């Protein structure tokens, strides 16, 4: 047999491999939903006339915390406070980049006192650079770190003037994005970062949550982004947490999970149905401590 080996055709039968996704160990701050309930409505998800099962919320939250620990991450805890039913949403209480902390200033009077409890936690845990905002700033709810730039949402909660304040306090470039759909009142329910260590960060988002101009900004910055469907967004599927390989997301976000798997990520579904009654998901319960 002098037949030449048909290398070309052998190669063409192999599907292009998804890139290798490397996890990095993370440190998170969380708050047990001991006093979780829905007794005021500050977003369209909240309906105080609907029953909330606090025990079930605690069980779901515990499973989320255990999931992070199983994945090798560290979870720090802050004490929950009575009369602050939304304190479980740690992501809203601070933005930490390179050990610098920008605290929160909540839009609603109901949540306002949370900011001081979190500020104290930072100070008591050795953070030297803690700045409190002078403008409404719901922290990682609206401020999303991609690894190179800070995406900053506005429209419902965080004041656009807080974006400039964040740039000055944290020393990172800020890009403002306009949110237009009240169901997606925070940036972190419309977009999340899949890979913040790559030279070109990779994100997933739901375009309809953004103004036309902001959509064009996102297209320009992230031409290869994962685009979520309406169903993925409507279960708060974009309120997900990625370590660069594992992506913890609501179990209902099945289309998103399939897209992530195609891109080489490992989707880890969790049940957050009780916590969703307040308009939050896994990411809302999780502040990343980027020390
Ligand atoms: N009930 C809370 C609020 O409306 C939910 C916050 C969700 N947190 C988040 N990071 N999106 O303020």
Q: What is the DSSP string of 31-87?
A: ---TT----S-SSTT--TTS---HHHHHHHHHHHHHHHHHTT-EEEE----TT-TTT
ipTM value for the complex: 0.97
Cα 141 to ligand 1 centroid, rounded to whole Å: 7
| Residue nearest (by alpha carbon) to ligand 1 atom 1 | 278
Q: Tell which one of 86, 191, 238 to mutate to probe ligand 1, the residue whose CB is within 8 A of the most ligand atoms.
A: 86
Amino acid 5: pLDDT: 57
Q: Indicate the burial class of 27 (C-beta count within 10 angstroms; 0-12, 13-18, 19 or more).
A: middle
Find the 138 Cα to ligand 1 centroid distance in Å.
9
Q: Which two tokens stand for residue 85?
A: 């039913």
The model's pLDDT over 186-218, given as tens digits with 9 standing for 90+, comes to 999 999 999 999 888 999 999 999 999 999 999
pLDDT one-digit tens code per residue, 207-254? 999 999 999 999 999 999 999 999 999 999 999 999 999 999 999 999
Environment class of residue 255 by beta-carbon count within 10 Å: exposed (0-12), middle (13-18) or buried (19+)? middle
Ligand 1 lining (C-beta closer than 6 Å): 42-43, 46, 86, 89, 91-92, 111, 141, 186, 188-189, 278-280, 284
Cα 31 to middle of ligand 1, angstroms: 13
Catalytic residue among 31, 235, 246, 284: 284
Contacts of residue 129, Cβ cutoff 8 Å, sequence gap at least 6: 99, 100, 101
Return the CA Rg of the chain. 20
Q: Which two tokens stand for residue 79?
A: 């004490």
- 125 as an active site residue: the answer is no
Specify the 3-state DSSP secondary structure of 150.
Answer: strand
Model-level pTM?
0.94
Which listed residue (186, 235, 246, 285) is catalytic?
Answer: 186
Which alpha helices (DSSP H) does 84-210 contain, by range? Answer: 114-124, 160-170
**3-state DSSP call for residue 231?**
helix
Helix locations, 134-271, DSSP H: 160-170, 212-221, 230-234, 254-262
- Residue 285 appears among annotated catalytic residues: no
Residue 245's Cβ-count burial label (10 Å; 0-12, 13-18, 19+) is middle
- 111-170 pLDDT tens trace: 999 999 999 999 999 999 999 999 999 999 999 999 999 999 999 999 999 999 999 999
Separation of CA 275 and ligand 1 centre (Å) = 10
CA dihedral of 26, 27, 33, 36, whole degrees rounded to 10: -80
């Amino acid at each position: 047999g002098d037949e030449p080996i048909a290398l070309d055709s052998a190669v063409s039968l192999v599907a292009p491999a998804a890139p290798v996704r490397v996890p990095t160990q993370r440190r998170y701050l969380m708050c047990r939903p001991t006093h979780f309930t829905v007794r005021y409505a500050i977003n369209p998800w909240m309906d105080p006339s609907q029953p909330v099962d606090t025990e079930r919320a605690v069980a779901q939250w515990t499973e989320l915390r255990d999931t992070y620990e199983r994945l090798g991450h560290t979870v720090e805890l802050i004490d929950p406070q009575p009369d602050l039913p939304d304190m479980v949403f740690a992501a809203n209480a601070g933005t930490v980049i390179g050990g610098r902390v920008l605290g929160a200033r909540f839009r609603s009077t109901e949540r306002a006192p949370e900011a001081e409890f979190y500020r104290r936690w930072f100070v008591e845990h050795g953070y030297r650079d803690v700045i409190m905002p002078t403008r409404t700033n719901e922290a990682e709810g609206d401020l999303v770190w991609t690894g190179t730039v800070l995406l900053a949402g506005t429209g419902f909660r965080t004041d656009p003037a807080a974006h400039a304040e964040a740039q000055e306090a944290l020393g990172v470039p800020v890009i403002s994005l306009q949110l237009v759909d009240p169901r997606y009142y925070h940036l972190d329910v419309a977009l999340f970062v899949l890979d913040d260590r790559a030279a070109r960060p990779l994100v997933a988002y739901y375009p309809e949550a953004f103004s036309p101009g902001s959509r064009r900004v996102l297209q320009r910055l992230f031409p290869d982004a994962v685009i979520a469907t309406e169903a993925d967004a409507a279960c708060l599927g974009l309120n997900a947490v990625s370590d660069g390989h594992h992506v913890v997301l609501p179990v209902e976000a099945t289309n998103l999970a399939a897209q992530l798997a195609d891109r080489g990520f490992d989707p880890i579904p969790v049940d957050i149905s009780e916590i969703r009654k307040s308009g939050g998901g896994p990411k809302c319960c999780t502040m990343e401590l980027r020390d």
